[in-house]
A and B are shown apart, each in its own frame.
Chain A
């Protein structure tokens, strides 16, 4: 991630993100379990994930590919295709209302109005044959009951708000005429159109150039502050997390292994996996000769997870107990929790 140095510098510019808004959790996920029925067997993609998202807060969800980040985010809004996916257990409470008990129609009312989502691929996430303005106006008409004329006017305002030059012109344009960065701005305009309380951003910058990434992240942070939204930011890019998140949850093999305020994750990680992740970030000051450290081994297959800690075979601090007993998330002080029998020193 060559963006780290840049991103680190940018933090100081946008103020210290660690001042998370305190208060009642807006979104509360409890013991979420999702599994996939495949030809290869039943895969527990998400196994007992739980976290809270407070009002106005950004929670970063980090992990490697296949660690269950995206499945978690899709499960929150009940967007998983079922079959093959199956939500086995868990609750998702948005302002105290359990989304898993809602009817399909009520759920559709929640999506886009109370909680909306932006995706990784701006190139394909917009309908190619509908104009940008039409696509943004749609949720306004549907969720807020706006008239077509009012929705059109609001659409131009929204496009302006997400920093699109000549918004009136862009509203009449079709997605294929816009660059990736511009399309992601349009997606953001779509997602915030109804002023949702929660925005789920699934790798919003992964498909973009580094320079555009910084712009889009800055835009998301600005909008979040302006609208007082909570954001669940899913990424595998620690630089992005460092720049935007208040708290961080680290996922590994379908479970959260560590969750803590952002400065604690970067300053004093307790879980050996988090430590390994941070060590493997390239730094500009590192001399050319020294090798980039990596975590030895590979992620275990979901079909054959060990009975104990999933990270045990790659862990430098593994104990005998780690092979047999699965560690649960345990409090380590100051809102810091990690699931490890032999955590690193603070």
Chain B
């Protein structure tokens, strides 16, 4: 432990920020990089859908029904049973799917993190009550829970997102709670208390930032889960309602023609697969890049 001069020197020479080192390790993780690129491309495509899409996604053109991909340059990925442009519908459907995915993820993370922190930090009967509630929620299969709630709540984009989010936060709560149980034993928590920090401040200002890595990882994985969930319930007819396009309800429409025009089912299926895999790879990569055991190394 050399003091002042050596520190000053080390500060002056290699001032590499935390974020940059995480980024470096992330880039070295090839699968994660691929996942990140796919996610970025999907997000951009969804964001700029009105500019990219060659047609209005709900405009019917009955003279061009069941066009195969690349058959007609005006309808690059073909048309469906009502002559709607598949490419445009995929782009707009992506908007819906990603919006649902992100809003549901935000709901999940927010609910899960708050419950996990409060439960882990306060402990005692609060912890017991909250964790038994988590157990109860986990008893029901999520799809079943979703369908029951969706049967009572009119399906809008927001309600679907919230329903998905509020039925999948339990895992996040458990992850955060276990992190907090470990973190609250650390000296810096007592040091913060010794300087006058109260419970709320310690939970949300001191402890929460320390759990960001696992929360971030869980968040990306939850987006994938939510996109899939939206597809399930739209496929079952409780989700996004026609004529609005979502990848899930495009699959529903396609099932009647699966033996004759399989591309109508394959294309939204591929999009769902790409999105889910992209977010999963991204999450895995983030997990490795943010691992605190690796963080300490140069």
Tell me the complex Cα distance, A251–B283, Å: 54
A108 at the binding interface (Cβ < 8 Å): yes
Tell me the smallest distance from the CB of A197 to a CB of chain B, in Å.
14
Query: Does A112 make an interface contact (CB < 8 A)?
Result: yes
Interface presence of B209 (CB below 8 A):
yes
Nearest-Cβ distance from residue B182 to partner chain A, whole angstroms: 13
B196 touches which of A110, A165, A181 (Cβ 8 Å) = A110
Q: Are A179 and B7 in contact (CB under 8 A)?
A: yes
A112 pairs with B187, CB closer than 8 A: no
A130-B1 CB under 8 A given contacts A139-B195, A182-B7 = no
Give Cα A193 to B194, complex, Å. 13
B277-298 Cβ-contact flags toward A at 8 Å (1 or 0): 0000000000000000000100
Note all chain B residues with C-beta closer than 8 A to A177: 10-11
Q: How far is the CB of B180 from chain A (nearest CB, A)?
A: 14
Cα distance A143–B201 in the bound complex, in angstroms: 13
Establish whether residues A77 and B194, one from each chain, have CB atoms under 8 Å apart when the complex forms. yes
- B194 lies within 8 A of A111 (CB): yes
Inter-subunit contact A124/B194 (CB<8 Å):
no
A174 within 8 A of B: yes
Chain A residues within 8 Å of chain B by Cβ, number: 48
User: Given contacts A110-B196, A138-B197, is CB(A127)–CB(B206) below 8 Å?
Assistant: yes
Enumerate 27 A-B pairs (CB-CB under 8 Å) in ascending A order: A79-B190, A79-B193, A108-B197, A111-B195, A111-B196, A112-B196, A116-B194, A116-B195, A119-B190, A124-B187, A124-B188, A125-B190, A127-B192, A127-B206, A129-B209, A129-B210, A130-B205, A130-B206, A138-B205, A142-B197, A142-B201, A143-B196, A166-B8, A176-B296, A177-B11, A193-B195, A215-B3
Q: Is the CB of B1 within 8 A of A181?
A: yes
The reply to whether A109 and B196 form a contact with Cβ atoms under 8 Å apart is yes
Please, how many angstroms separate the alpha-carbon atoms of A191 and B192 in the complex? 10
| Interface: B260 (CB within 8 A) | no
Residues of A within 8 A of B (CB): 77, 79, 104-105, 108-113, 116-117, 119, 121, 124-130, 138-139, 142-143, 163, 165-166, 169-170, 173-174, 176-182, 187, 190-191, 193, 208-209, 211-212, 215
Query: A182-B7, A212-B3 given as contacts; is B187 within 8 A of A119 (CB)?
Result: yes
Given that A111-B196, A129-B210, A130-B209 are contacting pairs, would A165 and B4 also be in contact in the complex, using a CB cutoff of 8 Å? yes
- What would 16 more interface pairs be, CB under 8 Å, given A112-B197, A127-B206? A79-B194, A111-B196, A112-B195, A116-B196, A124-B186, A126-B188, A139-B195, A163-B4, A177-B10, A179-B2, A181-B3, A182-B7, A190-B195, A191-B195, A208-B1, A212-B1
Chain B positions 146 through 183: 1 when the CB is less than 8 Å from some CB of chain A, otherwise 0: 00000000000000000000000000000000000000
Cα separation A105 to B193 with both chains bound (whole Å): 11
| Contact indicator A128/B188 (Cβ below 8 Å) | yes
Query: Which A residues are in CB contact (< 8 Å) with B198?
Result: 104-105, 108
Question: When chains A and B are docked, how far (Å) is the Cα of A176 from the Cα of B16?
Answer: 12
Q: In terms of DSSP, what is the predominant structure of the interface of chain B? A: helix
In the complex the two chains form, what is the Cα distance from A209 to B1 in whole Å?
A: 7
Q: Which residues on the A side are within 8 Å of B139 (C-beta)?
A: none
Residues of A close to B210: CB separation below 8 A: 127-129
Q: Hey, which bits of chain B sit against chain A, CB under 8 A?
A: 1-8, 10-11, 18, 186-188, 190-198, 201, 205-206, 209-210, 212, 296
Residues of B within 8 A of A163 (CB): 4
Q: In the complex, A288→B11 CA distance in Å?
A: 44
Q: A111-B193, A112-B196, A165-B7 are in contact. Are A179 and B1 (CB under 8 A)?
A: yes
A108–B202 alpha-carbon span in the complex (Å): 12
Chain B nearest CB from A108 CB (Å) reads 5
Closest approach, in angstroms, between the C-beta of A203 and any C-beta of chain B? 12
Which residues of A lie under 8 Å from residue B4 when comparing CB positions? 163, 165
Residues of A within 8 A of B1 (CB): 179-181, 208-209, 212
